Amino acid sequence: MKKQGFLSSLLRVLKKVALADMVIFGVVALICWFSGWRTVYHYGTGLVLAGGIVMALGAYSIVGSLNMGRTFEYQFAGSAGVDSMHEFASRDVKDSGSRYGFLALTCAIGITPVVIGILIRSVLG
C-alpha cells in the first residue's frame, strides 16, 4: 500500500470539510425557512448555532459521555492475557489519537459556519 503525501491528505481533509460545510449551510437554510426565521440575521444565528453544535459533538467525543468524565490517570485493568502494559498503553494512545483527530475535524467543520454567521449578523443584519 502506497503512503499518501501530506498534500494529498490535506486536500482530502479539505474536501471533507467543504462538503460538510455545504451540507450544514443547506440544512440550516431549510430549518430556518420552515421554522419562520426568514431574515438574514436569523440565518446568521442559525449558522452560529449549527457550528457550535458540530464543535460540541467533537468535544463530546473526547469526554466520552456525560456520565463518565476523563481522568488524567492511567488505570490498568484487563484480563490475564498475554498483552503487556506497553501494548495496552500503545492501544490506548492510538484510540486517543483518533478521538483528537475527530475533534480537530469537527472544529475545522464548525468554525466556518460560526465565522460566516457572525459576519452575516454583524455586516448584513
Identify the band that residue 1 occupies on the pLDDT scale cut at 50, 70 and 90: very low
Which is nearest to 22 in space by CA: 124, 116, 125? 116
State the cell numbers at 25.
Answer: 449551510
Q: Give the span between the Cα atoms of 101 and 95, in whole angstroms.
A: 10
User: Which range has the worst mean pLDDT, 46-60, 80-94, 105-119?
Assistant: 80-94
pTM over 0.85: no
State the cell numbers at 17.
Answer: 470539510
Q: Give the span between the Cα atoms of 125 and 122, in whole angstroms.
A: 6
The domain locations on the chain are 6-124
Q: Give the span between the Cα atoms of 90 and 42, in whole angstroms.
A: 47
Q: What is the pLDDT of residues 17-66, one digit of tens each?
A: 999 999 999 999 999 999 998 899 999 999 999 999 999 998 887 776 54
